[in-house]
Amino acid sequence: MKISSDSKQCNITAICCFPDGQILVADLSNKNVKLLDQQYQVVSHCSVTTRPLDVCPITPSEVAVVGDDKIIHEVQFITVKNRQLLIERKLQLQHICGGIACHQEDLYITSNAALYKHTMSGKLVSKMYEDTSGLFTVHKVAVKPTGYKLYITNLSHNKLLTLARDGSILATFTDPELKWPCGVNVTPAGQVLVVCEGP
């Protein structure tokens, strides 16, 4: 995973798979994203202006990378063309960024304590949900393929929340094995996968 221009040990914070089998990884420590082929070899990379924290697919050849450096909060749209990564555009946001998910023309972005809905042009539509009872109560987000449900990880209280499209809580899941849920994804079939950091 390490490339010659990397000055630090790789710290992979997000992974996104393309339909053709290529994989995009976000490297927080080196502030870059890397494109891997089907043999997991780095074939392209590009630097990003903020620490990349999460990534989500937009189209079969485009992803959105959310990054944050305390002062700069942004989303960068990156396209894959001929096995090369091209930064197409950036959105500057007015709130902290932590996680990102997309459904059709809607971007769902977490700020560690709130979930915001934005348009693809960056316009803030609403603050959908907020929980200020801890530092990482709204950590990562994923959306069901139908768009009717969203899932957010509450890292502070070891929970997975299911939200409706209006931000209301539909369900709260807890389990002794659910320790430090740091990532969430929904498969095309609707299965929810949660990554945990705890022992």
Encode pLDDT of 109-165 as tens digits.
999 999 999 999 999 999 999 999 999 999 999 999 999 999 999 999 999 999 999
Domains along the chain with CATH numbers = 8-85 (2.40.10), 93-199 (2.120.10.30)
What pLDDT does 29 receive? 95
What pLDDT does 70 receive? 85
At position 105, the amino acid (one-letter code) is E
CA 13 distance to own-chain centroid = 9
Radius of gyration of the chain (CA): 16
User: Side by side, which strands form the sheet with 106-110?
Assistant: 99-103, 106-110, 114-119, 124-130
At position 165, the amino acid (one-letter code) is R
What pLDDT does 195 receive? 93
What pLDDT does 6 receive? 86
At 2, the pLDDT band (50, 70, 90 cuts) reads confident
Give the C-alpha separation, 199 to 96, whole Å: 28
Q: Which residue has the tokens 């590009």?
A: 46
Give the C-alpha separation, 111 to 120, whole Å: 17
Question: If we measure between CA atoms, which residue out of 101, 102, 59, 100 comes closest to residue 81?
Answer: 59
Mean pLDDT of the chain: 94
Give the C-alpha separation, 38 to 59, whole Å: 19
Residue 188 has pLDDT above 90, yes or no: no
Q: What percentage of residues in the chain have a pLDDT greater than 90?
A: 88
Give the C-alpha separation, 163 to 146, whole Å: 13
What pLDDT does 197 receive? 86
Would you say 145 and 130 are in contact if contact means Cβ atoms under 8 Å apart? no
Q: How many helices (H) and strands (E) would you count in the chain?
A: 0, 18
Would you say 156 and 181 are in contact if contact means Cβ atoms under 8 Å apart? no
